[in-house]
Chain A
Amino acid sequence: MSVIAVERIKLFSTRSPWWCMIVAAVLTVGFAALTTGFLKGAEEQQATIFITQPGAQLSQMVMMVMAALAVTTEYRFGTIRTSFQAVPQRAALLLGKTAVVAFLAGVIGLIASFGAWGIGTLFASNADLSINTGAEWRLLAGQGLVFSISAVFAVAVGILIRQSAGAIAILILWPLLVENLVNLIPKVGDDLARWAPFANGSSFLNQGQDFGLAGQGAGGSDFALSPWWALLYFAGWAAALMTIALVSASKRDA
């Protein structure tokens, strides 16, 4: 387990991961304050847990950026060679990094979602925001899983691209733009969109939620898989991409 210790020391001995984690947590909580803080009367009573979570996707992006940077900065500064020199079993080393980053992303995901919910209950105190249903638990606690899997995705992309700007561009454009644009392709577009990885990540969170004020279909309505299968499907993508990344990193010259 020394690779875990190695990556933990590496990550916490520079400042940017700390900033990413703080920003990620603050964004979701801050957005919840904005979406719930100005509600009055009837509107306030209609607030749901879903309403407290709009910042989560942004935080998820920030954590993916941190995860990708954890790899690409190593290539940028050449420390990846020092790392491979210290641990020639490259796949083990990179999996250690993935584990550390995914764990932290998961923790931040939980802090963000429950923090946002906490702020929501504080600001919209007249609404019923208690966590009653399984779907509501899935929305909040599930954020941790989605953040973790996204981080694995991001580390894999970082290993494959090896360059910060390129990796970050892909990680932001893919879920925000590409997965939405495929909708426009005639005939196959709808299917492509339903089976896109990040769409399934949010489908896991959003199915069965009371969208309330956000309006019907705010969290999507066209789901390809039931929640847990959707999560597994999303995780499958991350695992596949990580496998390709590890094979490629083990073979190519550092």
Chain B
Amino acid sequence: MIEAKGLTKRYGATVAVDNLSFEVKPGRVTGFLGPNGAGKSTTMRMILGLDTPTSGEVTIDGQRYRDLHRPLTKVGALLDAKWVHPNRSARAHLTWMAASNKLPKSSVDKALDMVGLTSVANKRAGAFSLGMSQRLGIAGALLGDPEVLLFDEPVNGLDPEGIVWIRTFMHRLADEGRTVLVSSHLLSEMALTAEDLVVIGRGKLISQSTTQEFVDRASGTTVKVRTPQLDQFAGVLNEQHLVTRIEDVEDQGKVLFVEGDLSTDQIGEAAAAHGIVLHELTLQRGSLEQAFMQMTGDSVEYHAHEEIAAVTSLDAPDAAEVAAGPKEDN
């Protein structure tokens, strides 16, 4: 189990990680989600003792990384696939890593075999494609057969085949009872890979929950109603204690949105009972991406204001509001 308590990292005036506390449980794949620059890599470097926290601490089964004896047998990590000497062969790279933790020579062959690099083991790592480098990094992480595994953006830049391979691999590792922490800035990827989610933005914890909970919360539904008797119908619904809001939608004039995961059946029946004319009655589901952007939007380091605004108004005007619900919960 990985446990962070009040983890903070400052670089001069910049706060990269701000009082971050979370837990990563064994036997599951935990996604570490946040926009670029949210502090994911910094946090992972602190877990591995590469960077020293300004305050707070992070432990692995109660021990700080720097106090671990033969750490590769406890924690395997792939933070950057390029951290290999380009003129050293894949086998030599793994051989020195194995020697550093007194691992048997056979562990090198085993790791190479596990990621399918045996045939190119004696080639220089500098000639590897990104996918092969990524596999070499994973081989390094698996070398000591560790209980805890950390991967920083492992699918970045990979082709679909590589992405599927990594995804399946993570699940296999978790099924073997290991603790797996995978960072990503892609929510859709995490929804497929991770069972738990730790979401951060600007170095702060935004939410920690199972992926299912996060998705349910984030992608709640609203019912969109177009009617000439807008105010009257809103009043009717409000009497039934339903949350409504009226918005100006381009080309459609004023539109009524009903929140609270209702079905169109209920709204339609209510309209009929009060003799309300309906022009449109549709169920709208918020997209995960929209929800994620809304939740972390305030915490993106470098805003692209116009783009985000454009996407919000064009595709899913409701998603923004949908996401506002879970945001308050936090």
Chain A interface (Cβ < 8 Å from any Cβ of B): 2-3, 5-6, 9-10, 13-16, 73-74, 77-79, 81-89, 93, 251, 253-254
Contacts and interface: CB of A to CB of B under 8 A. Distances in A.
A84 B50 contact: yes
8 contacts: A2-B100, A9-B92, A14-B85, A16-B87, A78-B80, A79-B84, A85-B49, A253-B50
Contact of A85 (B48, B52, B95, B99): B48
Contact of A86 (B84, B87, B97): B97
Contacts of A83: 100
A86 B66 CA distance: 10
A9 B68 CA distance: 23
A154 to B, nearest CB: 19
Interface in B34-89: 45, 48-52, 65-68, 71-72, 77, 79-80, 82-89
A73 B79 contact: no
Nearest to A4: B99
A86 B100 contact: yes
Interface string B95-133: 111011110000000000000000000000000000000
Query: Top 3 closest A-B pairs, CB basis?
Result: A13-B92, A78-B83, A86-B100
B293 to A, nearest CB: 31
A41 to B, nearest CB: 50
Contacts of B49: 84-85, 88
Contacts of A74: 85
Nearest to B77: A85
Contacts, number: 83
B50 A77 contact: no
Nearest to B91: A13
Contact of A88 (B68, B80, B99): B68
A77 B97 contact: no
Contacts of A14: 85, 87-88
Interface of B: 45, 48-52, 65-68, 71-72, 77, 79-80, 82-89, 92-93, 95-97, 99-102, 140
Contact of A253 (B51, B68, B82, B102): B51
A9 B48 CA distance: 23
A106 B79 CA distance: 37
A103 B66 CA distance: 28
A88 B65 contact: yes
Given A85-B72, A88-B66, 6 more contacts: A2-B101, A6-B96, A9-B92, A86-B101, A253-B52, A254-B51
Residue of A79, A81, A82 with highest tally of chain B CB at under 10 A:
A82
Contacts of A9: 92, 95-96, 99
Contact of A81 (B67, B83, B85): B83
A9 B88 CA distance: 10
Contact of A82 (B65, B86, B97, B102): B97
Given A79-B83, A253-B50, A254-B50, A86 B72 contact: yes
Contacts of A3: 100
A17 to B, nearest CB: 11
A253 B97 contact: no
Contact of B79 (A6, A77, A81): A81
Residue of B66, B85, B99, B100 with highest tally of chain A CB at under 10 A:
B100
B150 to A, nearest CB: 10
A77 B88 CA distance: 11
A15 B82 CA distance: 19
B97 A13 contact: no
Contact of B83 (A2, A13, A77): A77
Contacts of A89: 66
A87 B99 CA distance: 10
A13 B82 contact: no
Given A81-B79, A86-B71, A253-B51, A5 B99 contact: yes
Nearest to A9: B96
Given A77-B86, A85-B71, A86-B97, A2 B51 contact: no
Contacts of B48: 85
A7 to B, nearest CB: 8
Contacts of A16: 87
